Structure 1
Amino acid sequence: MELDHFGHIEEPLSTMPLHFVVGLNHPRAGKIMQDFNTALKELDESGELARLLNRAQY
């Protein structure tokens, strides 16, 4: 799997780095990353991500 297969969000969600890592050799790496990015976008758009990060004082 090439790195080109992974997208990125144009605007940062935070100035503090957040990382989610899936091994490139995992047979479902692409699907896991796609699902994670979709869920993260939904959390961000709903405002839930900001609430969670504020609650964690992140």
Structure 2
Amino acid sequence: GYDTAFLDQPPPRGAAADDFLDAAAMTLIAGRIASGEARPLPDPPGRDSFGIPVAIWA
């Protein structure tokens, strides 16, 4: 979903390259969740000891 030039740019000041890529991935998945395209793994999500859903979204 991103142009290669966007991902090849240096990270913002104070961030490492992996931080930049993590943020880009999270932005992409947030858009997929908002549009209803993303799916949780596992489906349905498990729950932690507080009852909060736990899943990886893709």
Using the size of structure 2 for normalisation, the TM-score is 0.39
More helix by share: 1
**Higher RCO by CA contacts (8 Å cutoff, separation 6 or greater):** 1
Max Rg structure: 2
Greater fraction of residues in strand: 2
